[in-house]
Amino acid sequence: MILTRRLGLQQWGIYSQILWLVGIAGIFLSFGLTYGTARYLAQYIGENQQSELRKTIIFTGSIQLICSIIGAIIFFSLSSSLVHWFHWHISTQLIRIAGLGIVSFSLYQFSIYVLRGLQLFKLLAAYSGIYSAAILVIAIICINWPLVELLLILTYIA
């Protein structure tokens, strides 16, 4: 709602499309590892196989990180094509910056499922809230909001 008021209709549409594209890319690049990780971590806890927990997190986290970096590179490489395909009236530099969101979203998604698999639900809730607030702050900074408005919004979130 805060961003909707600040952006015009066209800018809000572009912002929504970029978020959608980054989210879809992040989900696609996870290859289902996030769901599998949560499932196996919960299974290892239930079977008291503590040694497998760390191996699973490191292995699947490494694959997730590599896939998300490859996705960000592809997104970065296709930035001018994306602007053309979607008829966006914005700089390709903004699309390239948004490509970094693929890595961020993929790692966020992976972390959420690791916390879910480890059954650390309070930490999961706190982590989700912090990530959501951070994304909002980044979006506000990218839209060049005055510092006073930024501080008011941060006060509202806290």
Q: What is the pLDDT of residues 9-51, one digit of tens each?
A: 777 777 777 777 777 877 787 778 888 888 999 999 999 998 8
Enumerate long-range contacts of 120-125, CB under 8 Å, 24 or more apart. Answer: none
139-143 CB contacts, 8 Å cutoff, 24+ apart: 139/3, 139/15, 140/2, 140/3, 142/94, 142/97, 143/3, 143/6, 143/7
Confidence label for 131 from pLDDT (cuts 50, 70 and 90): confident
Residue that the structure tokens 């769901």 belong to: 35
Q: Which two tokens stand for residue 109?
A: 């998604």
What's the whole-model pTM score? Answer: 0.68
Note the pLDDT tens digit of each residue in 137-148: 666 666 555 544
Kindly state the DSSP code that residue 120 receives in the 8-state scheme: -
Token digits of residue 130: 């912090």
Cα 75 from chain centroid (whole Å)? 14
pLDDT band for position 59 (cuts 50, 70, 90): very high
| In the chain, domain spans | 2-157
67: tokens are 């896939």
